[in-house]
Structure formats: C-alpha cells, structure tokens
A and B are shown apart, each in its own frame.
Chain A
Amino acid sequence: MKGVFDIIGPVMIGPSSSHTAGATRLGKIARAILGEEPSTVIVRLHGSFAKTGRGHGTDKAIAAGLLGFSSDDERIPAALMLASAAGMKIEFVKQDFVKVHPNTALFEMVGRSGRKVSVMGSSIGGGSIIVTQINGYQVEFTGEYATLLTIHEDRPGVVALITQVLAKEKANVAFMRVSRQERGAEALMILESDEPISHQAYKIVANIPAVKVAMLIVPS
C-alpha cells in the first residue's frame, strides 16, 4: 500500500501531475545525469507531451527542471525566461518515437564543459517518472533511489567489484539490472540503493579500470 503523502501530495505547481510535475522531474533528472549545468538542450517531445504540452506548461516545467528546480518551485511559470537569462539555450521539437509512453521526452544536452549526454524519459502518472534511455542504451530507473549507472567490460568479476564498493558503504541494493549487447563486449548496469551513495564511492567505481562510464544520480 502507498503512503499518506502519495495521496495528500505531492505539493506541486499545477496544472497536471504528469504534464507539469513529472515534466519538471524529467528535466531535473536529465540535468543530474549530465552531471553539470546544461548550456544547450534540444528537447524532443512525443505524444501527449507534444499535443497538449503548451496548455499544461510542459515547456516551462522542463526548462525549470533543467535549471535544477523541483516540481513545487514557484519559479516554474517563469522558467523559460530564467533559462534564457542564465544563458541556457533550450529548443523544443515535436517528434514521434516508436513504442514509447505517450508522455515521453528526449533530451539532447551539451553541458558547460562540452560534455554531451542524451536522456529519454517518460512521465508515467501522478508525477512519477522513469528514465528509459541514456546515450542510446536502454535503461529503466525512477530516480527515486540513489542510482549508480555503469558501462563496463563484460567479463567475470566486474559486477562484484562494483557491488563491493557499495557493501563497504553499507548501501543496500534495492534493485539491480545488468544488460549487454553481446557477450564479452560492453555491459550496462543500473544499481538502485536504499541508502545514499557517496561521491567518494562513485569515484572509486569510476576508477575501476574495467568501468568505462560511471554516473551517480542522486534523488531530489
């Protein structure tokens, strides 16, 4: 059963939990995955996001999220102006994707340092979201937990090396998924933890030679 504050809550900026609150959370998690302030973002809006987004303020909500605002931040209505004032260039494009949730957006981001990351996510109702793709890799996580994502060499022992780091942190793994394109090439792992994962632990994981990419997404 859910909690009391799933029913009397969330506190949010209206009008729609999926098109506004969820959209803000998608923008915010996209920024968190990029790991720095975005300078240029192309946002591709699919389905209902593209169709009714403007009346629901989805564009403003996404801009607010990219600025790092939460879904109850009263600056959301002014977010497009605030983003432009902050020198963040955001372009919205309507695009149809195949076999995705009706409320889906793809973020193609370039950060201040020049780092490029693309993130696809969906707003699945009640303000809840899932991230479905990062840099073309299929993923699935909610951002409600501390999430560690790695792209690493697909060989024995690598997964154990990474989970040992979390064990030392006393971070309990709530959900874990490993996938790969082909045996012996690259594997992708997503670990969601009940406890916070420290930046130090993330650094240790990132420095494991077999780990090519590591990302830490901290819940907001």
Chain B
Amino acid sequence: MEHFSTFMDLTALAVNGQQTLSEVIIKYEVQKSRTNRETVWQQMDERLTVMIKAVEKGKSSQEKTVSGMIGGDARRFGEYAKGKGLLGRVTQQAIQYALAVSEVNALMGRIVASPTAGSCGILPGALLAAGEALNVPREKLISALFTAAGVGLIINEHASLAGAAGGCQAECGSASAMAAAAVVEMAGGTPEQAGQAMALALKNMLGLVCDPVAGLVEVPCVKRNAFGAVQALVAAELALAGIKSVIPPDEVISASNEIGCLMPASLRETSDAGLAKTPTAQKIEDKLFGENE
C-alpha cells in the first residue's frame, strides 16, 4: 500500500520510487477503492469534464443569484481582458475561469467540490489557465488533479477542509495549496518543488476567516476564488524558480490547524462577525430574509 500521512512521506514515496506525486496518489486510490487504474482514471477524467463545462457555462452567463449579489462577472472580466489589462494572459484566464466556476456554483450549476463548493473555482481556474499556457495534453491535467487531491488528503488528515472548522484558510487556502502543487507537477517541477508551492500558498492564506454575507456562498467567496487561483500561480512560479518556504509544508499545515482551532466560532461560517455584520451586509440580509418570511 502506498501509505502516506504527511507531505514528507508522500515526497519520499515519489522520490524513492522515481515517480511523480500523481503516480503515488493514483496507486493509493486504486488500493483504497479496490478497483483498478482505469476506473480511477476515468472518474478523474469525468471530473475534469465537469470543471471545463462549468468554465464554459460561467464565461457567458449573465444570470444573477436570488440575492442579486453574484452573477455575470466572469463574462464582464472576459470582455475587459480582450487583449488588454495589466496582467498577462495566463493570470487573466485564471481569474476569469475561477470566477466562472464559482458563479456557476452560486447559480445552482454543476461543479466539482474541490475541496469544497465554496472554493470550487480555484483549482480549475489555476490548472486550466496554466494548462493552456503550457499547452499540455489532457492526461497531464488529469494527473495534476490527482496531485491536488493528494495535497487535500494530507491537509484533511492534519488540519481541516471545512470553513466551519478552520475558516476560509481551510477551504480557499487548501484549494490554492492544492492548485499550486498541481501546477508545479504539470509544469515539470520536482515533488519537492510541489511541496514548496503548497507551503507558500497555504502560508499566505493562514488566518483567513469565513464570514459570508447572509450566510451565502457568494460574498466574499466568488471573488476570493479568483484571488486564490492567481495566488496558486504565484506560489507555483516561486517554487519553480527554486524559492523555498522557510517553514516546511507539514509544519505549515500544522500551523493552519492550530490557527483554525484558535479562531472564534463567529468567524467560522456562522456569519456572526466580520463582513457578515457590516451595515451593508445587514441591509442585504434583512431584505433577503424579510422577503422569505
């Protein structure tokens, strides 16, 4: 059994076995699910298709959510970014794709929770944009999704992936860390570099709270997915350049867990503080739930 609990274990399995991180994760899943490689590969292939379809749908949608807070921004950004703007094409695509998938989620469309629904735009945003820039075949995208899953498994084991438990660092922070490692592998980086990218991305989101307006997966979630996707690319490029996180990956995960435990409940998806209690948020909430009575 490909047994790992920490990122150090995972890296050792990859390096000693002269294989990629994704290869280790695929073997782990084949053993765990008691199926075969084809089945596991096929399941991930299907998830990639759902991600791509969500990007396509979100890019052109002008629909608004029931609250009226979210909808149409992926399309708006796409219109703006046609050959202009400050950021380069890859970054702009990551932004647009992440917005697209998150908006599809907010509008009751079909998405892949990765690792959660609230953070579902980050991984497809970063991965598909980087994939286009690197011009990689579909198989590389699928492999990279396994790498992302491996990072998520380790975080889930030693910290949390739920906003109610660890705040947004657990959701968008984890998603960004997963995406960063995935992009590194896809770009041809080493397992160690993938770990560094993961650590750099997660470190930058430590302490991020979950304070959604009116308790909905809309504000600040949708736009935060765009930031999370771009941050994953930043972390990946830093790591690919050979820049290291002073604090190693597993210690960053432990820190994230400690910070999540120290975080007050009012900032862990209860909407009892922060953005959710601003005057504007209160007005939105009153209007929304007033109509509901």
Contact = CB atoms under 8 A, between A and B. Distances in A.
Contacts of B214: 52, 55
Q: How large is the interface on B (under 10, 10 to 19, 20 to 34, 35 or more residues)?
A: 35 or more
A54 B67 CA distance: 9
B194 interface: no
Contacts of A55: 65-67, 214-216, 218, 288
Contacts of B105: 14-15
Contacts of B255: none
Contacts of B115: 7-8
Interface stretch (A16-24, A170-178, A181-189, A205-213): A16-24
A74 interface: yes
A54 B285 CA distance: 12
B33 interface: yes
A17 B116 CA distance: 7
Which of A14, A48, A54 counts the most chain B CB atoms within 10 A?
A14
A14 B145 CA distance: 20
Nearest to B108: A77
A74 B110 contact: yes
Interface string A1-40: 1111111111111111100110000000000000000000
Contact of B108 (A1, A2, A8, A76): A76
Contacts of A56: 216-217
Contacts of A20: 108, 117
B111 A3 contact: no
Contacts of A16: 117-118, 217
A55 to B, nearest CB: 4
A60 B65 CA distance: 14
- Interface SS of B by simple majority: helix
Contact of B111 (A5, A6, A11): A11
A13 B149 contact: no
B153 A125 contact: no
Nearest to B156: A2
Given A14-B104, A76-B108, A1 B116 contact: no
A95 B171 CA distance: 30
A9 B104 CA distance: 16
Interface string B152-175: 110011000110100000000000
B46 interface: yes
Nearest to B46: A11
B114 A14 contact: no
A1 B157 contact: yes
A74 B29 CA distance: 28
Contacts of B152: 7-8
Given A14-B117, A76-B108, A7 B50 contact: no
A7 B175 CA distance: 10
Interface in B9-49: 25, 28-29, 32-33, 40, 43-44, 46-47
Interface residues of A, number: 34
Given A55-B214, A56-B217, A11 B50 contact: yes
Contacts of B145: 8
A3 B44 contact: no
B164 to A, nearest CB: 7
A126 B113 contact: yes
A54 B5 contact: no
B33 A3 contact: yes
B66 A4 contact: no
A127 interface: yes
A51 interface: yes
A7 B161 contact: yes
B109 interface: yes
Contacts of B218: 15, 55
Nearest to A76: B108
Interface in B109-166: 109-118, 120, 123, 145-146, 148-150, 152-153, 156-157, 161-162, 164
A114 to B, nearest CB: 33
B149 A14 contact: no
A10 B120 CA distance: 11
16 contacts: A2-B156, A4-B32, A5-B44, A5-B47, A5-B149, A7-B156, A9-B112, A10-B113, A11-B47, A14-B117, A16-B118, A20-B108, A55-B65, A55-B214, A55-B216, A74-B110
Interface of B: 5, 25, 28-29, 32-33, 40, 43-44, 46-47, 50, 65-67, 104-118, 120, 123, 145-146, 148-150, 152-153, 156-157, 161-162, 164, 178, 214-218, 271, 288-289, 292
Given A8-B112, A14-B104, 9 more contacts: A4-B150, A5-B29, A7-B178, A14-B110, A16-B117, A17-B113, A17-B116, A21-B117, A77-B108
